[in-house]
Amino acid sequence: MSRVVFSAFGSGGDVFPSLAVAETLSRSGHDCTVIAPRGLALYARHAGFRVVSVGDGSDIAAPRDVRLMTTRFDGFASWRRTLNKYVTAYVRSALSGAARALEDIRPDVVVHHPFCGVGPIAADALKIPRVCLHLYPQLLFGRRRVGQAMTNFACEFADLLRDLEPPEERARRGRTRSLELGASGAATIVTHDPALHPDTNLGDCVMTGYPYWDRVESNERDVEVVESLISAATGDLIVVTQGSFLGLYRQEIWHRLLDVPAFARRPVLYVGVPTTERVRLENEPRRYAVGFVPMSNVVPHALLVLHHGGIGTTYGCVGAGVPAVVFPQAFDQMYNGRLLEAAHAGRICMDSGQLRKFDMSAVEDLRHGAISVADALIRPRAAAAHIAERVLTVARLSAEAP
C-alpha cells in the first residue's frame, strides 16, 4: 500500500484528473490525501476524499478579477496575472501548511499540478519523489525556451521560487529552476489525448489521455430539471456552460450568452449558474438554469454544447461525441478550442458577434468529427489506471533507490 498526496491547484478541470486517479488508487487500497487551496478543496471533500486545506482562502478572489479574463497572448496574459498575483500569494500563505502535512503524512509520492508551487517545493525539501500531472502541452514544446519566457513573463512568481530555493540547489543547477519546476519531477504526465492532440512530441513527457471525472454533488431541484429535460428527449437540447471558474463567479458572462439566434426555439440548459442569475436566464420559454450537475449526465443528451474551452469540459463533450462551440475567455481555452477545430469537432467564437452569427447547419459535420474523436479517445478509466500505475512506479523506484 502506498501513500499518495495530490497537490491541487486551479479550477474543476485542473483538479478532476487528480481525483480520478485518487479514486483509482483508493479502490486498490492505496492511501490518498488531497492538499488544495480552501475553495478547490471543497470538490474533494464533497467526493469524500481526505483533504488538507491550505492557504488563507484569498484564492477565492481570483475568479472575480476582471483582468484575469483575457485571451491576450493566447491566454499567457491571464497565466501571468494568475502566477504573479494569486499563485505567489497562495504559495506564501500555504507553503508551511503543505510542508507540515507532507511531514505528517510522509507520502511515497506527491502528484501535483504544474503551477501549484507548494506541492513540488515542499516535496523537494523533504526529498519526496513527485509526478506532475501537466494540463498544458503548449508550455512543454521547446520547454527551456518557454520556461525562460514564462520566467521573464511572470517575474514576481519566479522571484518567489528563487527565494524559496536552497542556495546549494540553485548553485548546483547553475540557473533558476523558475517556472519549469512543475515539469521537472520524476515524471511528467500530460493529460491530453493523442486523438485530439496529435502532436505528442513532448520529449520525456508521456501523454496518457484525460481521465475525465465529474462526480460532483447536485441539489434535488437541479437533478429534477435535468431528468425532466432528458426524459423529454427532444434531440435538439443545447447545453451552455462556462465551467466552475468563470460561470459561477463572473456573472456578467451569462449576459453575453443569452442572445444566440441559432438557439432560438430550442431547449437550452444553462449549467453552473449562480442562484442570483437563474431567474433572469429562465425568463424566456424553454430556458432552464441549474447549478452544478455532472456534465457526464447531461452532455450525451445534447445536440451541441456551448462552452468556454476549459480542458475538463472540452474532453467531457468530445468524449461523448458531442460537438462544441467554444467561447474562450482566458488561459488554455483558445488552445483547446483550436484542438477541437482541427479535429472538426468544434468551432471557436471569439466574441458575442461571432456567436450571434453561428449557423446550426454546421452542427451535423461537427458531430461526425466529434464522434470520430470520441471513438479514438483513451477511455477515462483507462487513462486514470495508466496514470495510477505510473505514479506507483515512481514511488516504487524511489523506494528501491539506494
Partner 1 sequence: MTDDRRFENFESFVESLLTHMHVPLPERLDVSIGLYDELGLDSIQALELLIIIEAWADLAVPPADIPEIFTLGDAWKYFCTACELAQAERSDRGV
- Site pattern 14..43 for partner 1 (x: CB under 8 A): ------------------------xx-xx-
Beta carbons within 10 angstroms of residue 124's beta carbon:
20
Residue 378 touches partner 1, criterion: CB under 8 A:
no
Residues 74-93 that bind partner 1 (CB under 8 A): 93
Three-state DSSP at 275 gives helix
Nearer to partner 1, 97 or 300 (CB): 97
Return phi, psi of residue 245, to 5°.
Answer: -80, -50
Nearer to partner 1, 272 or 319 (CB): 272
β-strand partners of 285: none
Helix, strand, coil shares of the chain as percentages rounded to 5?
55, 15, 35
DSSP label at 86? Answer: I
Residue 4 touches partner 1, criterion: CB under 8 A:
no
Nearer to partner 1, 58 or 148 (CB): 58
Residue 291 touches partner 1, criterion: CB under 8 A:
yes
CB of 247 to partner 1, least distance (A): 10
Q: Which of 342, 373, 261 is nearest to 306 (CA)?
A: 261
Nearer to partner 1, 53 or 151 (CB): 53
The residue within the footprint of partner 1, chosen from 157, 212, 249, 358 (CB under 8 A), is 249
How many residues at the interface with partner 1, by CB under 8 A?
A: 28
Residue 55 touches partner 1, criterion: CB under 8 A:
yes
Nearer to partner 1, 213 or 249 (CB): 249
- Cell 540557473 belongs to 175
Nearer to partner 1, 16 or 249 (CB): 249
Residue 54 touches partner 1, criterion: CB under 8 A:
yes
Please, are residues 215 and 294 in contact by the beta-carbon 8 Å criterion? yes
C-alpha dist (Å) from residue 257 to 183, 282, 327? 36, 13, 9
Q: Given the rule CB under 8 A, which of 148-156, 230-238, 273-281, 378-386 is the region that contacts partner 1?
A: 273-281
- Cell 491547484 belongs to 9
CB of 363 to partner 1, least distance (A): 32
Nearer to partner 1, 39 or 312 (CB): 39
> CA dihedral in degrees (326, 328, 333, 339; nearest 10)?
40
Residue 50 touches partner 1, criterion: CB under 8 A:
yes
Nearer to partner 1, 289 or 373 (CB): 289
β-strand partners of 112: 7, 132
Nearer to partner 1, 35 or 154 (CB): 35
Alpha carbon of residue 27 to chain centroid: 23
Residue 224 touches partner 1, criterion: CB under 8 A:
no
Which DSSP string do the residues of 306-348 spell out, in sequence order? EE---HHHHHHHHHTT--EEE---STTHHHHHHHHHHTTSEEE
Please, are residues 114 and 146 in contact by the beta-carbon 8 Å criterion? no
Q: Under the phi-then-psi rule, with left for phi > 0, alpha for psi from -120 to 50, and beta for the rest, what region is 15?
A: alpha
The residue within the footprint of partner 1, chosen from 20, 68, 69, 101 (CB under 8 A), is 101
Residue 56 touches partner 1, criterion: CB under 8 A:
yes
Residue 274 touches partner 1, criterion: CB under 8 A:
yes
CB of 144 to partner 1, least distance (A): 36
Distance CA 289, CA 286 (A): 10
Distance CA 183, CA 391 (A): 14
Nearer to partner 1, 43 or 79 (CB): 43
Residue 182 touches partner 1, criterion: CB under 8 A:
no
- Site pattern 324..363 for partner 1 (x: CB under 8 A): ----------------------------------------
Using CB under 8 A as the criterion, which residues of the chain lie in contact with partner 1 when the complex forms? 38-39, 41-42, 45-46, 48, 50-58, 60, 93, 97, 100-101, 104, 248-249, 274-276, 291
